Structure 1
Amino acid sequence: MGAEGDTSGREVRVLDDHVALARAAADEWRLRALAAVAASGRFAVALSGGATPRAVYALLADPAAPYRDALPWARTHVFFGDERAVPPDDPRSSYGMARGALLSSVALPPENVHRIRGEDEPGAAARSYEDALRAFFGVAPRFDLLLLGMGADGHTASLFPGSPAIDEPSRLVAAVPAPAAGPARITLTLRALQAAAHAVFLVSGAQKAPALARVLSGESGAEALPAARVRPAHGSVLWLVDRAAAPFLAAP
């Protein structure tokens, strides 16, 4: 069982553990996919990397779970919120992870997978992905479902605290340096994230608890954390968090 509440204008659901969190996220995917296809004939979803989304993808691909055979894969278009500047077969690739956990196990047409080319020079990859988004969506990428994670520092996608990319006024995609040793990143900007119809954050683990409480507090200074600034002007934000990440949240 989970607790539900509204913190600073956002819906927050606290689930018992990471298993319940993955199930809630898969339910949200099914809900949004079926509604989008009924309304427009297609479902556009942007994926996140990381361990928590991987569990969701594995559940969606599981033939024993009530998702894989009930979802409109032929009308689903998959995008990515960010990517490391690595080839798709690199273990650090978000696309590679999603391919192994989900994309290779469902009836998704290959042309419906719109990946960020992490093997290209980061600036060129960012420009190319922005062109692809504009070609598909028009002015702004209105994802039917945008899956996001949050780091212990409050970052989301590859928008890190203090990064100039946070305040990028016009670009939909930016190349950014790694926050520490590691490959550069290509990320959707806030302008792109804010255009989503439905954004869902997946947050698991005690190490995320302090940042989560600050992001959802609404207090002065909280917007220094990029995750706090994801508020689609014409969409919704849902936070799915497990109890380990939620000890500092106010009771609903």
Structure 2
Amino acid sequence: MAPPPGPTLVRAADPAGLARAAAEEVARRAGEAVAARGRFAVALAGGSTPRALYEVLADPAAPWRGRVPWARTEVWFGDERCVPPDHPDSNYRMAREALLDRVAPAAVHRIEGERPPAEAAARYEAALRRAAEPDGAPPRLDLVLLGLGADGHTASLFPGSPALDERARWVAAPFVPAVGAHRVTLTLPVLERARAIAFLVSGAGKRAALGRLLAAGPPAIPAARVRPLDGALLVLADEASLA
């Protein structure tokens, strides 16, 4: 079998342009998904770069909010910190404040970070399995939004993590020495079935990691192992991260 194709690079001048380009991608894929299958399933990412996207999507004065069929949109999350949903570090809280409370999607599946990590992972996997394909395969998310850490991690798949080699479980809760805590994260079997994956990358601090993400050859960082088996792989990056 031929390896999945490499990423398509979308360049933006600055963080604001990156947010607009990402909003255009979300709106376009949402419309296509609803036209084809009657619903749009998207996995959100945490971090400051995705937050700028969410604020643009929620802005009633911007053109993208009205183009996304929110009443047919189902929201998932790529990963979560092991904190309550009202904690300042919660990815869910950030997404709720920036977007979800302002657009009322049809369903939101959050990771229950306030529970013990293994329990939170098991409960989130159970939700994914209820949405599984008829053959029992992981659900095909229409779009997965991902960030990129300076160390090359994405979602909560960090360098050296055993979660990178997990093929049976759809959700893992590894201990991450770099942050001194457990994280709950989707695993590659779910990510690689996405119809589209979009990395959002901003800032000079991401240059080295972005170069490794875009490089040909064997993956040198965790993010480079995220490749859709039958879908689009996009990298939306601003000029500071590419310089």
TM-score, normalised on structure 2?
0.94
Are 2:55 and 1:58 equivalent residues in the alignment?
yes
Q: Deviations over 1:155-206 (max 9, x none)?
A: 0000001111101121110001133344311000111110100000000000
SS in 1 for 2:131: helix
The whole-number CA distance in structure 1 between the counterparts of 2:129 and 2:206 is: 34
**Residue 143 of structure 2 contacts residue 198 of structure 2 at CA under 8 Å; is this kept in 1?**
yes
The whole-number CA distance in structure 2 between the counterparts of 1:166 and 1:58 is: 31
Aligned residue identity for 1:74: A
**1:102 equivalent in structure 2:** 99
SS in 1 for 2:80: strand
Unaligned 5+ segments in structure 1 are 1-7, 248-252
How many corresponding residue pairs?
236
The whole-number CA distance in structure 2 between the counterparts of 1:103 and 1:133 is: 20
**Residue 58 of structure 2 contacts residue 65 of structure 2 at CA under 8 Å; is this kept in 1?**
yes
User: Identity over aligned residues, as a percent?
Assistant: 59
TM-score, normalised on structure 1?
0.91
Aligned-residue RMSD, C-alpha: 1.2
**Residue 158 of structure 2 contacts residue 176 of structure 2 at CA under 8 Å; is this kept in 1?**
no
The whole-number CA distance in structure 1 between the counterparts of 2:179 and 2:204 is: 24
The whole-number CA distance in structure 1 between the counterparts of 2:233 and 2:217 is: 18
Aligned residue identity for 1:105: R
**Residue 145 of structure 1 contacts residue 196 of structure 1 at CA under 8 Å; is this kept in 2?**
yes
Q: Deviations over 1:67-110 (max 9, x none)?
A: 2222211100000000001000000000000000000001324x
**2:235 equivalent in structure 1:** 239
Which of 110, 119, 122 lines up with 2:117 in the alignment?
Answer: 122
**1:201 equivalent in structure 2:** 199
The whole-number CA distance in structure 1 between the counterparts of 2:94 and 2:131 is: 24
**Residue 87 of structure 2 contacts residue 93 of structure 2 at CA under 8 Å; is this kept in 1?**
yes
Q: Deviations over 1:219-244 (max 9, x none)?
A: 45xx2311101111111100000000
The whole-number CA distance in structure 2 between the counterparts of 1:192 and 1:10 is: 18
Are 2:97 and 1:78 equivalent residues in the alignment?
no
Which of 67, 85, 96 lines up with 1:88 in the alignment?
Answer: 85
**1:178 equivalent in structure 2:** 176
**2:220 equivalent in structure 1:** 224
Unaligned 5+ segments in structure 2 are none
SS in 2 for 1:218: coil
